[in-house]
Amino acid sequence: MRASLQFPPELLLKAQGPGLAIKAAIFDVDGVLTDGRIYIGEQGESFKAFSTLDGHGLKLLDQGGITPIIITGRDSPAVRRRVADLGLRHAVYGAKNKLAVAQPLLDQLGLDWPEVAAMGDDWPDLPLMTRAGFACAPAQAHAEVRAVAHHITAALGGHGAARECCDLLLMAAGRYQALLSSHLETLDGGHP
């Protein structure tokens, strides 16, 4: 089965990054992996809603050889639980200065900014997005963030925007079709 999802060729070229090899992607949480709303209970606990599409996209990204990284300005048990449930190995919580925490992480991974994609929705994400080889923003992102993004998703944050970014990066890297095909195989090795 051939992929039904298509992106314009010029966008696929941009999504490869300037060195034709995006190796990691940084994602914000509030406004990207969630719709940006924060529900606070009587006891002060916060609740967030995450999209299963986004979660599977992050897992596919990792399977496709592009390291997903979470850098969020807030810290909460809900976010830590979601990151753990997805098996993501690289996450920074409560980052007041996202660039200050991203650079040592990229150094540790042996990556330079042209090899990194970044997805954010508001001003704290701008330092990452302007340095990244490829930048994505969800449809409802702030105007200044949309202005620096190479791609603005059709989907809203928390409603598949991160998945759209993941699919785009995988397609640009030439890994999307193989991942799709592997999901179509049945346990006996045949196709449905």
pLDDT at 191 (0 to 100): 54
When pLDDT is cut at 50, 70 and 90, the band that residue 186 belongs to is: low
pTM for the predicted model, two decimal places: 0.93
CA distance 33 to 52: 10
Q: Is residue 58 a contact partner of residue 88, using CB atoms and an 8 Å limit?
A: yes
Q: Is residue 160 a contact partner of residue 169, using CB atoms and an 8 Å limit?
A: no
pLDDT at 192 (0 to 100): 53
| pLDDT, averaged across the chain | 93
Most confident of 8-12, 19-23, 85-89: 85-89
Most confident of 11-15, 29-33, 74-78: 29-33
When pLDDT is cut at 50, 70 and 90, the band that residue 92 belongs to is: very high
Is residue 187 pLDDT above 60, yes or no? Answer: no
When pLDDT is cut at 50, 70 and 90, the band that residue 180 belongs to is: very high
Residue count of the chain, please give it: 192
Residue 183 structure tokens: 């999901």
CA distances from 119 to 39, 40, 72, 157, 187 (A): 23, 25, 11, 10, 35
Is residue 54 pLDDT above 90, yes or no? Answer: yes
* Least confidently predicted of 35-44, 46-55, 62-71, 109-118: 35-44
CA-derived radius of gyration, the chain: 16
Task: Phi first, then psi: give them for residue 92, nearest 5 degrees.
Answer: -125, 130
